[in-house]
Chains A and B, each alone.
Chain A
Amino acid sequence: MKIAFLAESPADQAALTILTEAILGCKAEAISHTGLRSRGWPMVRTVLPSVLKDLHYQSEAEGFVMIVDSNGALPHLPEHELPNPHEPKCRLCQLRQIADNTLSQIHPRAGLAPLKTAIGLAVPEIEAWLLCGVDPHVTEAAWTNGLKEGREPYSKEDLKQQLYGTSHPSLALETQKMTEAATRLSQNLSALEKLFPNGFGAMLKSLRSW
Chain B
Amino acid sequence: MIESIEFRNFKALREATLPLSRFTLIVGPNGSGKSTGLKGITAFQNPGVYHHKNLRTAGVPETVPVGVTARWTDADGAQVGSLLWSASEGTRVAYYVPNASSQAVKVAEVLQGARIFALDAVAIAQPVQLQPNMEMAQSGALLAGVLDRLRDQHPERFEAVNKELGRWVPEFDRILFETPGSGQRSMALRTREGHYPIKAVELSQGTLIALALLTIANSAKPPSIVCLEEPDRGLHPRLLRDVKDALYRLAYPEGSGEKREPVQVIATTHNPYFLDLFREHPEEIVIAEKVGLESKFSRLSDRKDLNEILADAPLSEVWYSGVLGGVPAGT
Task: Show the binding face of A for B, using Cβ within 8 Å.
Answer: 9, 37, 39-43, 72-73, 156-157, 164-166, 168-173
A-B contact pairs, 28 of them (CB 8 A): A9-B241, A37-B238, A39-B273, A39-B276, A39-B314, A40-B314, A41-B312, A42-B313, A43-B314, A72-B307, A156-B280, A157-B280, A164-B255, A166-B254, A166-B255, A168-B23, A168-B248, A168-B281, A170-B248, A170-B255, A170-B256, A170-B257, A171-B241, A171-B242, A171-B245, A172-B245, A172-B256, A173-B257
Residues B255 and A73 in contact, CB atoms below 8 Å apart: no
B56 within 8 Å of A (CB atoms): no
B177 at the interface (CB under 8 A from A): no
- CB neighbours (8 Å) of A41 from chain B are 312
CB distance from B278 to the nearest CB of A (A): 10
- On whether the beta carbons of A170 and B276 are closer than 8 Å, the reply is no
Chain B residues in 8 Å Cβ range of A166: 252, 254-255
* Chain B interface mostly: helix
Give the chain B neighbours of A157 by CB distance below 8 A: 280
Decide: B245 and A170 in contact? CB cutoff 8 A.
yes
Q: Enumerate chain A residues within 8 angstroms of B249, measured Cβ to Cβ.
A: 170
Could you say which residues of chain A place their CB within 8 Å of the CB of B251? 168
Q: Which residues of B contact A72 (CB under 8 A)?
A: 307, 311
A42 touches B314 (CB 8 A): yes
Q: A40 — which chain B residues lie within 8 A by C-beta?
A: 276, 314
Nearest chain B CB to A33's CB is how many angstroms away?
15
Which of B242, B254, B307 has most chain A Cβ within 10 Å? B254
Q: Which of chain B's residues have a CB closer than 8 A to the CB of A169?
A: 255
Minimal beta-carbon separation of B77 from chain A (angstroms): 15
Q: How many whole Å from A202's CB to the nearest CB in chain B?
A: 21
In the complex, given contacts A42-B312, A165-B254, A168-B281, what are 8 additional A-B residue pairs having Cβ atoms less than 8 angstroms apart? A9-B241, A41-B312, A43-B314, A73-B312, A156-B280, A168-B252, A171-B245, A172-B256
**Residues of A with C-beta under 8 A to B276:** 39-40
Shortest beta-carbon distance, B238 to chain A, in Å? 7
Task: Please report the C-alpha to C-alpha distance between residue A164 and residue B307 in the assembled complex, in whole angstroms.
Answer: 24
**B250–chain A nearest beta-carbon distance, Å:** 11
* Inter-chain contact A173/B256, CB cutoff 8 Å: yes
Contact pick for B311, options A43, A73, A156, A171, CB 8 Å: A73
1/0 per residue B19-46: CB within 8 Å of A?
Answer: 0000100000000000000000000000
Near A by CB (< 8 A), chain B positions 254-276 give 254-257, 273, 276
Highest count of chain A CB atoms <10 Å: which of B256, B273, B281, B313: B256
Give the complex CA separation of A168 and B273 in angstroms.
18
Quote the shortest CB–CB distance from A205 to chain B (angstroms). 27
Q: Could you say which of B242, B255, B313 contacts A168, with CB atoms under 8 Å apart?
A: B255
**How far, in angstroms, from A72 to B312 measured CA to CA in the complex?**
9
Chain B hits for A39, CB < 8 A: 273, 276, 314
Chain B 300-319 residues near chain A, CB threshold 8 A: 307, 311-314
- 10 tightest A-B contacts by CB? A168-B252, A168-B255, A166-B255, A170-B256, A170-B245, A169-B255, A168-B248, A166-B254, A170-B255, A171-B245
Residues from 218 to 243 in B contacting A, C-beta threshold 8 Å: 238, 241-242
